[in-house]
Structure 1
Amino acid sequence: MINGKVALITGASQGIGAATARELSKHGASVVLLSRNKENCENIANEIRASGSEALAIKCDVSIFTEVNSAIQEVVEVFGGLDILINNAGVIEPIASIRDSDPASWTDSVSINLFGAYYMVKAALPFFGNAGVIINIGSGAANKPQEGWSAYCASKAGLSMLTRSIALEIPSKKIRVYGYAPGTVDTQMQDKIRASGVNPISQIKKEDHWKPETTCKLIAWLCTEEAIDLSGEELSINDKFLRQRAKI
């Protein structure tokens, strides 16, 4: 059941995050849209409110723990707790060879893609109570390196291990955690990848990518008790048997 739950989605100003906020709200969740771009989040929150659901937009840089902690406190003050955490915030930059990469940009990537998820989990766990769902949005790049993506691949590999660490330390089925690779999705990130012309992913046609509105349906399904036996697993939308089970 998602109805009546409080769900926080990071990186919710666009793409998968925005689509996930809309999808969870359709199932009756109160959604918190978190991003550095509050204006976009507020616009989506207004849209969700207009449809009759509760929504809150919060400006937050997930790479800064004090901002993350303040955001979680605000969620608890407004809604009384938290039930679902979707760690979706992520960046693809720098798209560059290791030789040509900028160290500051490389560090920023890891800070957002990996540290950001850790910070969110660290701050949110005390407010889950006896039940909760954590979904870390990963990538096939965690297991298969791509030219020019050293920061992205390394940070997503780290995120995969973070998911497994959470599952090990919190083995209760009442607090579930999943790693989810949403496939290549038609978002602004893919626009940047396509423009770079680097590695085979940049050559995939726009029409051959998953739509955010499709891949987020599996995220919503993972939030239900139907997926309880998969807690601790690394999952992918490219698994046709998983899609069949989730009826996507």
Structure 2
Amino acid sequence: MSEQINPPQTQDHQPGRETEMHPKPEYMPRYPGSGRLADKVAIITGGDSGIGRAAAVLFAREGAQVALVYLEETEDAAITADAVKREGREALLLRGDVADKAFCEAVVGQVIENFGKLDVVVNNAAEQHPQEELGDISPEQLRETFETNFFGYVYLTQAALPYLQEGAAIINTTSITAYRGSPSLVDYASTKGAIVAFTRSLSAQLAEKNIRVNAVAPGPIWTPLIPATFPADKVAEFGASQPLKRPGQPNEVAPSYLFLACEDSSYITGQVLHPNGGEVING
């Protein structure tokens, strides 16, 4: 049995609330900004908490205005917006379900109306529901998981593309499970595999426009999705099996998004970064 890393805890609603976690995930950037996203505008789905929150605050520190798309976690979203504002940038809060194509179109419309442009799209919202047997995955669960985790990425990107100019960046959140699988998260891992293929295919389609499309495949990261997914004993030992013997913190993942969003990665497209605590992944 793995050793306890965090206190046992669960939440009964996805995608979970950061306000209810203990200890709280670490999301503040670790270093001063250097203007790498100066005057840029970014959309981040799942931007209220976890990796999305950490990326939003880091983007703001580097000079970006940020639109935070979230499902219903109003308190978490307000905390993230306040953190963005403390970095001297504007945060636009947009509540709704990315599985709704019309909502994704409305998000982009409001971003253009508010900021006048769009430079970076971070598709990050996700849900996951463990099932030990394939037959236990209901049609409703399968549909909802794909609609949030994959269809939402396509819908938002479709809505954003008419406004993205040369040099823009699209960043998709996939997962370590896309590469090594997950026996209890078959449908979730499948959506993350689809995201890898989506990233590679779209990068080829948009290369001639100099719009870069990349992805990040986090390993076990301490976010609200974890206590909202697993039983308390599994949450307590979450991340202990990784080579670094712990889960990652959101602010250890956010720099991967910054790198892919800014000009530091101007010769990188169709690729996936792997902040996963040391697990070697072929992909």
- From 19, 40, 55, the equivalent of 1:20 is 55
Could you tell me how far apart the structure 2 residues matched to 1:77 and 1:146 are?
A: 41
2:252 counterpart of 1:214: yes
Aligned pair in 2 of structure 1 residues 212, 124: CA closer, same or farther (>3 Å)? same
Once the two structures are superposed, residues 115-169 of structure 1 have per-residue CA deviations (whole angstroms, 9 ceiling, x without a partner) of 0101111000101122310000111211222111111011111111110111121
Corresponding residue of 1:10:
45
Identity of aligned residues (%): 28
Instruction: For structure 2, list consecutive stretches of 5 or more residues without a partner in the other structure.
Output: 1-35, 279-283
Could you tell me how far apart the structure 1 residues matched to 2:113 and 2:230 are?
A: 42
2:242 counterpart of 1:189: no
- The structural deviation recorded for 1:197 is 6.6
2:176 counterpart of 1:176: no
Aligned pair in 2 of structure 1 residues 8, 142: CA closer, same or farther (>3 Å)? same
| Paired positions, count | 239
TM-score, length-normalised on structure 2? Answer: 0.78
Corresponding residue of 1:81:
117
CA contact (8 A) 2:129 2:229 kept: no
CA contact (8 A) 1:8 1:84 kept: yes
Over 6 Å off, 4+ runs: none
Corresponding residue of 1:243:
none
Could you tell me how far apart the structure 1 residues matched to 2:42 and 2:275 are?
A: 21
CA contact (8 A) 2:256 2:273 kept: no
Structure with the largest fraction of helix:
1
Q: Single out whichever of 44-53 and 54-63 deviates more from structure 2.
A: 44-53
CA contact (8 A) 2:220 2:276 kept: no
2:158 counterpart of 1:122: yes
Could you tell me how far apart the structure 1 residues matched to 2:211 and 2:277 are?
A: 24
TM-score, length-normalised on structure 1? Answer: 0.88
- The structural deviation recorded for 1:189 is 1.9
The code of the aligned residue for 2:266 comes to I
Could you tell me how far apart the structure 2 residues matched to 1:38 and 1:100 are?
A: 28
Once the two structures are superposed, residues 203-240 of structure 1 have per-residue CA deviations (whole angstroms, 9 ceiling, x without a partner) of 53397011001111121121121212221112212497
The code of the aligned residue for 2:58 comes to E
CA contact (8 A) 1:92 1:109 kept: yes
Could you tell me how far apart the structure 1 residues matched to 2:215 and 2:159 are?
A: 19
Could you tell me how far apart the structure 2 residues matched to 1:17 and 1:237 are?
A: 15
Q: What SS does the corresponding residue of 2:207 show, helix, strand or coil?
A: coil
Q: What SS does the corresponding residue of 1:72 show, helix, strand or coil?
A: helix
Could you tell me how far apart the structure 2 residues matched to 1:145 and 1:38 are?
A: 29
Corresponding residue of 1:229:
267
2:199 counterpart of 1:163: yes
Could you tell me how far apart the structure 2 residues matched to 1:38 and 1:75 are?
A: 20
Aligned pair in 2 of structure 1 residues 77, 114: CA closer, same or farther (>3 Å)? same
CA contact (8 A) 1:89 1:113 kept: yes
- The structural deviation recorded for 1:94 is 4.2
Could you tell me how far apart the structure 1 residues matched to 2:269 and 2:209 are?
A: 7
Could you tell me how far apart the structure 1 residues matched to 2:108 and 2:204 are?
A: 24
- The structural deviation recorded for 1:51 is 3.5
Q: What SS does the corresponding residue of 1:208 show, helix, strand or coil?
A: coil
Could you tell me how far apart the structure 1 residues matched to 2:270 and 2:198 are?
A: 10
Q: What SS does the corresponding residue of 1:178 show, helix, strand or coil?
A: strand
CA contact (8 A) 2:170 2:213 kept: yes
The code of the aligned residue for 1:43 comes to I
Corresponding residue of 1:58:
94
Instruction: For structure 1, list consecutive stretches of 5 or more residues without a partner in the other structure.
Output: 241-248
Corresponding residue of 1:67:
103
